[in-house]
Amino acid sequence: MGGSERTVVWFRRDLRIDDNPALVAAARDGSVLPVFIWCPADEGQYYPGRCSRWWLKQSLPHLSKSLESLGCPLVLIRAETTLAALLQCIDSIGATKLVYNHLYDPISLVRDDKIKKELSARGISVKSFNGDLLYEPWDVYDDSGHAFTTFNMYWEKCMKLPVEISPSLAPWRLVPVPGVENVCSCSIDDLGLESNKDEESSNALLRRAWSPGWRNAEKMLEEFVCHGLLEYSKHGMKVGGTTTSLLSPYLHFGEVSVRKVYQLVRMQQIKLENEERSEAEEGVHFFLRSIGLREYSRYLCFNFPFTHERSLLGNLKHYPWRVDEDRFKSWRQGMTGYPLVDAGMRELWATGWTHNRIRVIVSSFAVKFLLIPWTWGMKYFWDVLLDADLESDILGWQYISGSLPDGHELSRLDNPEVQGQKYDPDGEYVRTWIPELARMPTEWIHHPWDAPGCILEVAGVELGFNYPKPIVELHIARECLDDAISTMWQLDTAAKLAESDGEVVEDNLSNIKSFDIPKVVLKETSPSALPVNQKVPYASSKNHNAKLKELKGSNKHTICVDTIRSSKIEGTNSVANLPVSRKRFGSDTAFHVPCCSSSAEVHSRNQDHCGSLVGSSRYLLQEAGKNCADEVEDNSSSDSGTSISRPSKRAA
């Protein structure tokens, strides 16, 4: 701490003292001003939901108290723009440097690049660090210099690379900068993280279940490593109880570093091996793969920054999503008539949390049974999840919707009834969250529509009155999904012919204006510095060439693939008050996705303006810094008997 620099440390999703590279660097170079800036305008359509804001409100005082004990309390600022707030801090104390830890989502990439350019032009030194990942995205590419598009290949490459598993220690002391009283700061309440009394009362449940803060994160990690890691691989079959690490919100807000998690898990692995406890190997393996999925979510967002609004696979740009606000509302409120799905959605609304298995089931139901655009579901998860994480949610929803080369097959349709019997065999989870079905016998709990009238009468269930009938029957859902896939291939074939004539074909998702998701375009900073464009995968279809031949010779004209109407989704409505009595439980990343060994054929086809997006995003962070949760969870071949199928329709 012998330096003379005056440094602003910009805290974001790294709310910890231990293993915080930006904080350590600032403390080493001189005096420090720790600052957290709350700027709702910068968040745009990804303004954090109630539960996420509650967590932030608890975590910030915890961090401030720790910083104060080191000599520098945290300065809180509510601002119109982040850039203006940082400039005000720098001018108030005469700072010469700004430091922060990397973020990898496309919105943060654009904001950080703008801030770096502006401050650099004013002669302020800007440095950023890796405080969130084991492997930086620009360090992991295939032999051709292209980004990986399947998790298995990505993680296999990562396992061959060295990883720095020794976290940096927290500074012993921080030297406060003179002039800190000139900074326009505010109190934690003035940030407006809880907007009204209703939110405060709704958050009472969260206070009973969770303890935010970096010290609590470390306690949670130690408890999991010592007691939960051994049985981790078996927990994918349970949707109730404390069955996972519970680390996902702590990881999202950066209250514990992934390096520390990795280090402690590996140390425990060595200890268990020395004790010859071979049964622990499977649990360690699955947990490390879940950490790998979190890494992969950042990797995909960095290399393909359009994935928050468009499918990675090119052919899905023509998928005829169904814009149905009523169905979307029924799904959100847990009123679909499928008990396991409804229980999951009601728990999600009431608590901001569900087990990863439930997240997979409800999201799959939305996109496969209801054909709801996956971007709608992703945005809803972002609004209500306690551990909402944009990168992980993008990975999860693209995986479930068949938008990734190694994701669920587009034609896969899982039966919620069979899944209920598999993951909630006693029906206790359903009874907890659907009181209308509390007296239903276990035999009928997951398919009450098949129960005899006398059983329903005794249980007090009147389908269509106090509990809905199925929103869509299984065989109808199967037919609609097959028809949608057939339509997609027809439109895809027609679009290829149109593009060969120089016509512009729009993406179906671009016509869905429900959430006004911002279009992020990263401008090229230095064309000569840009790397080779990444290849965007494109799913192949059998008999696809035959379709092209059949359309040849037809009259060619401008083709519009806008097969769905634009609409604005109304605000999310609350479900009825639900009794809640439970302990914390959930998944280890914001949205785990299982790992598939098979992947679709990948073409070397660049999608729209992907080249400039990818090249620029990699360049920006190079300049700046230069959830298979397990195969048990959801392997497409492991759920034998849960998938509803019929001969697939293809375009004639």
Interval 315-332: pLDDT, tens: 788 899 999 999 999 999
Q: In the predicted model, what is the mean pLDDT of residues 52-81?
A: 95
pLDDT confidence band for 3 (50 / 70 / 90): low
351 and 208 Cβ atoms separated by less than 8 Å: no
Q: What is the pLDDT of residue 204?
A: 80
Beta bridge partners of residue 38, listed in sequence order: 78
**Cα–Cα distance, 26 to 596 (Å, whole number):** 43
Considering only CA atoms, give the Rg of the chain: 25
Range name among 125-134, 255-264, 306-315, 496-505 with the lowest pLDDT average: 496-505
pLDDT one-digit tens code per residue, 334-362: 999 999 999 999 999 988 889 889 999 99
- Nearest partner of 53 among 247, 257, 212, judged by Cα: 212
**Cα–Cα distance, 92 to 214 (Å, whole number):** 29
Q: Which residues are annotated as a binding site for FAD?
A: 232, 244-248, 287, 387-389
Residue 584, number of CB atoms within 10 A of its CB: 18
- pLDDT reading at 113 higher than 50: yes
**Cα–Cα distance, 305 to 109 (Å, whole number):** 9
Residue 254: left (phi > 0), alpha (psi -120 to 50), or beta? left
Higher pLDDT, 206 or 202: 206
pLDDT one-digit tens code per residue, 546-566: 443 443 343 333 333 333 333
50 and 202 Cβ atoms separated by less than 8 Å: yes
User: CB-based contacts of 556: which residues, under 8 Å, 6+ apart?
Assistant: 497, 498, 501
Range name among 65-74, 223-232, 252-261, 521-530 with the lowest pLDDT average: 521-530
- pLDDT reading at 70 higher than 90: yes
- Nearest partner of 134 among 291, 245, 249, judged by Cα: 291
Tokens representing 301 are 């967002």
- pLDDT reading at 205 higher than 70: yes
Tokens representing 178 are 């003179």
590 and 303 Cβ atoms separated by less than 8 Å: no
Q: What is the pLDDT of residue 511?
A: 55
Residue given tokens 């405080």 in the structure block: 131
Q: What is the pLDDT of residue 215?
A: 93
**Cα–Cα distance, 646 to 474 (Å, whole number):** 11
Residue 83, number of CB atoms within 10 A of its CB: 17
Higher pLDDT, 231 or 307: 307
Q: What is the pLDDT of residue 67?
A: 96
Q: What is the pLDDT of residue 646?
A: 46
CA atoms within 13 A on the CB side of 102: 25
pLDDT confidence band for 117 (50 / 70 / 90): very high
Residue given tokens 């973020």 in the structure block: 103
Length of the chain counted residue by residue: 652
Phi and psi at 101, nearest 5°, equal: -100, 150
Tokens representing 279 are 């049964």
Q: What is the pLDDT of residue 1?
A: 47
> What is the DSSP secondary-structure string of 186-228?
--TGGGTSS-SHHHHHHTHHHHHH---SHHHHHHHHHHIIIII
The pairing of strands 97-101 and 75-78 is: unpaired
Tokens representing 129 are 């660090």
Segments in 441-597 forming alpha helices (H) = 453-459, 474-500, 544-551
- Nearest partner of 406 among 600, 592, 539, judged by Cα: 600
Residue 352: left (phi > 0), alpha (psi -120 to 50), or beta? left
In percent, the amount of the chain with pLDDT more than 70 equals 75
- Nearest partner of 596 among 423, 410, 417, judged by Cα: 410
**Cα–Cα distance, 242 to 582 (Å, whole number):** 9
Q: In the predicted model, what is the mean pLDDT of residues 496-517?
A: 60
Q: What is the pLDDT of residue 495?
A: 84
Residue 510, number of CB atoms within 10 A of its CB: 14
Helix (H) or strand (E) holding 383: helix 374-384
Phi and psi at 116, nearest 5°, equal: -65, -45
Residue 125's Cβ-count burial label (10 Å; 0-12, 13-18, 19+) is middle
> What is the DSSP secondary-structure string of 256-288?
S-HHHHHHHHHHHHHHHHHTT-TTHHHHHHHHH
User: CB-based contacts of 624: which residues, under 8 Å, 6+ apart?
Assistant: 102, 112, 113, 116, 126, 128
Q: What is the pLDDT of residue 297?
A: 96
**Cα–Cα distance, 488 to 479 (Å, whole number):** 14
Residue 66, number of CB atoms within 10 A of its CB: 19
Q: Which residues are annotated as a binding site?
A: 232, 244-248, 287, 387-389
**Cα–Cα distance, 337 to 327 (Å, whole number):** 12
Beta bridge partners of residue 34, listed in sequence order: 9
Helix 356-364 × helix 416-423 angle, to 10°: 170
Cα distances from 347 to residues 90, 341, 370, 526, 582, in angstroms, run: 45, 10, 20, 48, 11
pLDDT one-digit tens code per residue, 411-463: 999 999 999 999 999 999 999 999 999 999 999 999 999 999 999 999 999 99
SS (H, E, C) 147-193: CCCCHHHHHHHHCCCCCCCCCCCCCCCCCECCCHHHCCCCCCHHHCC
Q: What is the pLDDT of residue 474?
A: 94
Q: In the predicted model, what is the mean pLDDT of residues 121-147?
A: 94
Range name among 124-128, 329-333, 459-463, 571-575 with the lowest pLDDT average: 571-575
Helix 258-274 × helix 214-223 angle, to 10°: 20
537 and 401 Cβ atoms separated by less than 8 Å: no
User: CB-based contacts of 215: which residues, under 8 Å, 6+ apart?
Assistant: 62, 66
Helix (H) or strand (E) holding 8: strand 5-11
Beta bridge partners of residue 64, listed in sequence order: none
pLDDT one-digit tens code per residue, 256-289: 999 999 999 999 988 888 887 777 788 888 899 9
Mean pLDDT in the chain?
79
